[in-house]
Chain A
C-alpha cells in the first residue's frame, strides 16, 4: 500500500514542478519523470501490459516534445495569463476539486474492484472464459483484440488520423499560387 502513496506523491510533485518551472526543457524532463513514475505505478498495480506500453510511448513522446522545444531559442515564457482570469480559473478549479473529492466515497474502496461485486460485470467472464473462448493467455490481449476489437480498430484509426493530420499541418506549401492554372 505505502508504495502507491510514495509513487503518487512523487508524480504529483513532478507534475507541480513541470507546471511551475520556468525552463521549458526542465518541464519536459519532469513530464518524463511523471511518465516513468506512472509506469512504475502501473507495474505495482499489476498491469504489466500498460507498464510496457507506457514506457515505450513515454520515450517516443519525450522525443516528440523535446524536438518541439530544443534548438529553438528556448523562450522563457513562464508567467500566467492576466491576473483576473487566473484567479477565476483557480477558484473554479478549486470548487470542482472540492466537489470531486466527495464523490470518491461512492466508489468501492481501493483494492476491492467493482467487478467482483457487480452482478453482470463483463470482467468476471473475461477472466474465467477468456482463454477458452479466444485462446489468448494474456487476458488483456484477448479483450483488446477479440472481445473489444472494434475499439482497437478505432484506436489504430486515431493514430492514423493523427499522423495524417501531422503530415498535413507540417507540409511545406499549403496553397497553390493563383497564377497556376486551375485544372
Chain B
C-alpha cells in the first residue's frame, strides 16, 4: 500500500512535468519524481522496528570486532541509503543546471511559458 502511494507520488510528478506549461512547474515536477524514487528506495530497505545502520560502542566488542547479534538482526538495509545519498546529490546538481537554463531562457524570452518559447519548429 505504501509502495503504491509512493508510485502515485511519482506519477503526480510525471503529470506535472508532462502537462504543465510553466518552466518552473516542469522543474518542480521532475523534482517530485526524484523525491518519489528516493523515498521508494529507502522504503525498500526498511525493517519494522529496525535500527539505523550506525554502530555505537555498546554494540561492538572492540577487542574481537564482534558485533552484537541484536544489531545484526535489526539493522535496516544500508545499501539503498547509500544509493539515495548519491541520487540526492545528483538531483541537486541537475536542479542547479535546470534552473540556470530556465533563468537564462527567461532573460532571452522574458517569459516562463513554454508555449510562447517556440522558435524551433516541431
Q: Do A and B come from one complex?
A: yes
A residues bordering B, Cβ < 8 Å? Answer: 1, 4-5, 8-9, 11-12, 15-16, 18-19, 24, 27-28, 31, 34-35, 38, 41-42, 45-50, 53-54, 57, 60-61, 64-65, 67-69, 72, 75, 77-81, 85-86, 89-90, 93, 96-97, 100-101, 104, 107, 110-116, 122-123, 126-128, 130-132, 137-140, 143-144, 148, 151-152, 154-155, 158-159, 161-163, 165-166, 169-170
Per-residue A-contact encoding for B89-108, CB less than 8 Å = 1, 0 else? 11011111101111110100
Using A77-B22, A97-B11, A113-B77 as known contacts, say yes or no to A50 and B99 having CB atoms under 8 A apart.
Answer: no
Given contacts A19-B15, A81-B115, contact A159 B93 (CB under 8 A): yes
- Neighbour of B42 across the interface among A50, A68, A114, A143, CB < 8 A: A50
Cβ A110 vs Cβ B24 within 8 A = no
Q: Top 7 closest A-B pairs, CB basis?
A: A162-B93, A111-B48, A104-B3, A166-B100, A143-B82, A139-B53, A139-B78
Interface pair A75/B3, CB less than 8 Å apart? no
**Residues B51 and A53 in contact, CB atoms below 8 Å apart:** no
Query: Are B101 and A127 neighbours in the complex by a CB distance under 8 Å?
Result: no
- Return chain B residues, CB-CB under 8 Å to A140: 53-54, 78, 81-82, 85
Q: Which residues of A contact B21 (CB under 8 A)?
A: 77, 79-81
Taking CB atoms, residues of chain B closer than 8 Å to A80 are 19-21
Whether A131 contacts B60 in the complex (CB less than 8 A), given A111-B48, A140-B82, comes out as: yes
Q: Which partner residue on chain B sits nearest A160 by CB separation?
A: B93
A101 to chain B, nearest CB (A): 5
- Chain A hits for B77, CB < 8 A: 113-115, 123
Smallest CB–CB gap between A92 and chain B, Å? 8
- On whether the beta carbons of A89 and B76 are closer than 8 Å, the reply is no
Q: Cβ of A61 and Cβ of B92 under 8 Å apart?
A: yes
Tell whether A34 pairs with B32 under 8 Å between CB atoms, given A12-B5, A77-B22, A112-B48.
yes
Chain A residues whose CB sits within 8 angstroms of the CB of B46 once the complex forms:
45-46, 110-111, 113
Min Cβ gap B118→A in Å is 12
- CB <8 Å contact, A57 and B76: no
Nearest chain-B residue to A151 (Cβ)?
A: B86
Q: Which of B11, B78, B94, B100 contacts A93 (CB 8 A)?
A: B11
